[in-house]
Amino acid sequence: MAPQLVIDGLTLHFGGVTALAGIYQEVNRGEILAVIGPNGAGKTSLLNCISGLYRPSGGRIVFEDREITRLPPHRRAELGIGRTFQNIELFKHMTVLENLMLGRHVRMSSGLFSGGLYWGRARREEEQHRRRIEEIIDFLEIEGIRHKAVGTLAYGLQKRVELGRALALEPQLLLLDEPMAGMNLEEKEDMARFILDVAEEWGTTMILIEHDMGVVMDISDRVTVLDFGRKLAEGTPEEIQRNPLVIKAYLGKH
Amino acid sequence: MSFFLQILISGLVVGAVYALVAFGFVLIYKSSDVINFAQGEFLLVGAYIALSLVVFYQVPFLAAVALTLSMCVILGIVVERLVLRPFIGERAISVIMATLGLSLLMRGLIQMIWGTETRTFPGIFPDTPVRMGDVVVSQVYLWSLAIAVLLLAVFTIFFKYSSTGIVMRAAADDQVAALSMGISVKRIIAIAWAIAAVVAAIGGVLLGNINGVNPSLAYIGLMVLPVVILGGLDSVPGAIVGGFTIGLLESLAGGYLDPLVGGGVKEVVPFVVLLLVLMIRPYGLFGKEIIERV
């Protein structure tokens, strides 16, 4: 089967700085691919190119046999590419429920004025969306905080809500930028379990940036290592742990 | 007492118009961080288009207003597209200069087309004044107030509960997140400009009915600044509360202080409020406390 995502010769310059230099990467449907590398290696730049926040200077990105290199970010979300952010980007002044409902934006069909009014089609549609949202709320075990403004929640919970909002989009490909950064051990274990459950229940493909090597080795199917915008190595977690180049550039520092 | 009530009512009417115009200003600021100095010119354009339709083309008033508002939707979208979009990502000062330039350009064009003399709407609301106790109020004030309040309510509900309104608030809250949710932020900004042009045009038609239309009405674009600084630059309820507060203060100052000192206080009061707010509570009554120094 053809890979779900193909990144070919991806290059990104910021002025004179090269953030990504000719990255080639295939991602298979349903796998969890971890992207690791020291700070400034280009991991987040890579995710931003896939989700469309950055326009690459060169190369191609093909998602489900369709070239998306020049598509604006909101069109890529419509195609089923969801993401979370390294520094949580939630709608802080809204409730958890509102955030999750906004996550379903691309699945909503009601027009400019019908939405929000409880009439006919819009009402049936809203109920359907609410059911889906409640499934996600159950799944992530955040029942108690549905109506809380997300700005008031603890950091770990915000991370969880952000994952929930990305799931509400029903993504085919989910980009997770350091989903466990700043969490304690227990929170990390919870998040790791959620990520594995997402893969199992929905078969969602995930690209994951993570610094905690233990987590990376535990949950990912394959690992790609970036260093100074170049791809250093790619392989199963075991292969990566044994790779001398990787040990030198990254693991060796610990 | 009756003098006080007269002042109160005219203050509320002016305040309601301020609130409408400020509402548009805040929508634009929230969705795109742009400070629109041309808000007063939108008001002027709306008033003149409606006036031309009614006076020269003999269009019935309501149809003329509907036509005016549709034209203002297009105007708002076109202005955003041609003037503001090229400035996305530019420094705040460049964007401010762009909207200032836009306001001067629009004012010049308006004077070229419609001249500078005051023109009056043919009486649309009934002439007979209404007696409220011992106060006599002309109907145009009451109608204007009612219409403005109704529209403010409609737009507030739209912004708070409609799906488009919720998406607009989301985009205002966090653009990057909105994009990743599949929300087209460009479309949201275009809608904000269209609404801003529409509410300003309604304000222009209402004021035009009361005082006639001439280019100096654009001063309301400037009055929006004390209103939104008081209410909080990024707060919709703030725009409404601020609008009524500034309108009332202005009217009270005009009624009670101007006769004592020989005039001028009315014009100064809003800007005294502006300075006081900036010194005491720079984010305004309802604004977010984080203020970026430009």
Tens digits of residue pLDDT in A194-203? 999 999 999 9
Tens digits of residue pLDDT in A129-147? 889 999 999 999 999 998 9
Q: Is the pLDDT of residue A223 over 80?
A: yes
Residue A121 confidence class, pLDDT cut points 50, 70, 90? low
Stretch B105-116: mean pLDDT:
92
Whether residue B75 is contained in a domain is answered as: yes
Size of the A and B interface in Cβ pairs below 8 Å? 81
Q: Which residue has the higher pLDDT, A119 or B288?
A: B288
- Check if B182 contacts A (Cβ < 8 Å): yes
Structural domain count, chain B: 1
- Whether residue A56 contacts residue A49, with contact meaning beta carbons closer than 8 Å, is answered with yes
Whether residue B8 is contained in a domain is answered as: no
Q: Which residue has the higher pLDDT, A118 or A44?
A: A44
Nearest CA to B218 out of B207, B230, B229 is that of: B207
Token representation of residue A240: 């990566």
Whether residue B5 is contained in a domain is answered as: no
Whether residue B58 is contained in a domain is answered as: yes
Q: Tell me which H or E stretch contains B17.
A: helix B2-32
- Whether residue A172 contacts residue A4, with contact meaning beta carbons closer than 8 Å, is answered with yes
Instruction: Give the pLDDT confidence score for residue B166 in this predicted structure.
Output: 87
Instruction: Give the pLDDT confidence score for residue A110 in this predicted structure.
Output: 54
Whether residue B141 is contained in a domain is answered as: yes
* Distance in angstroms between the alpha carbons of the first and the last residue of chain B: 46
Mutation to test the B interface, candidates A55, A84, A99, A102, most B Cβ within 10 Å: A102
Nearest CA to B203 out of B18, B3, B73, B8 is that of: B18
- Whether residue B247 contacts residue B203, with contact meaning beta carbons closer than 8 Å, is answered with no
Instruction: Give the pLDDT confidence score for residue A109 in this predicted structure.
Output: 66
- Check if A118 contacts B (Cβ < 8 Å): no
Tens digits of residue pLDDT in B82-103? 999 888 878 889 999 999 999 9
Whether residue B109 is contained in a domain is answered as: yes
- Whether residue B27 contacts residue B238, with contact meaning beta carbons closer than 8 Å, is answered with no
**Closest chain A residue to B168, measured at CA:** A102
Residue B1 confidence class, pLDDT cut points 50, 70, 90? low
Looking at this protein, which amino acid is placed at residue B151?
L
Q: What is the ipTM of this complex?
A: 0.86
Nearest CA to B239 out of B16, B76, B33 is that of: B16
Residues in chain A: 254
Query: What percentage of chain B exceeds 90 in pLDDT?
Result: 55
User: Smallest Cβ distance to B179: which of A74, A117, A165?
Assistant: A74
Domain extent for B46: 14-126+135-218
**Closest chain B residue to A92, measured at CA:** B173
Tens digits of residue pLDDT in A86-109? 999 999 989 999 999 999 888 876
User: Smallest Cβ distance to A116: which of B161, B173, B178?
Assistant: B161
Stretch B276-291: mean pLDDT:
81
* Residue owning tokens 């979300």: A77
Stretch B193-214: mean pLDDT:
92
Instruction: Give the pLDDT confidence score for residue A112 in this predicted structure.
Output: 45
Which residues on chain A are in Cβ contact (under 8 Å) with B176? 53, 85, 89
Distance from CA of A228 to the nearest CA of B (A): 25
Instruction: Give the pLDDT confidence score for residue A119 in this predicted structure.
Output: 55
Tens digits of residue pLDDT in B249-275? 999 999 898 888 888 888 899 999 999
Which residues on chain A are in Cβ contact (under 8 Å) with B179? 52-53, 72-74, 77
Whether residue B248 is contained in a domain is answered as: no
Whether residue B284 is contained in a domain is answered as: no
Looking at this protein, which amino acid is placed at residue B219?
Y
Strand duo A205-209 + A173-177: pairing: parallel
As a whole number, the mean pLDDT across chain A is 89
Stretch B179-207: mean pLDDT:
93
Token representation of residue B113: 């087309």
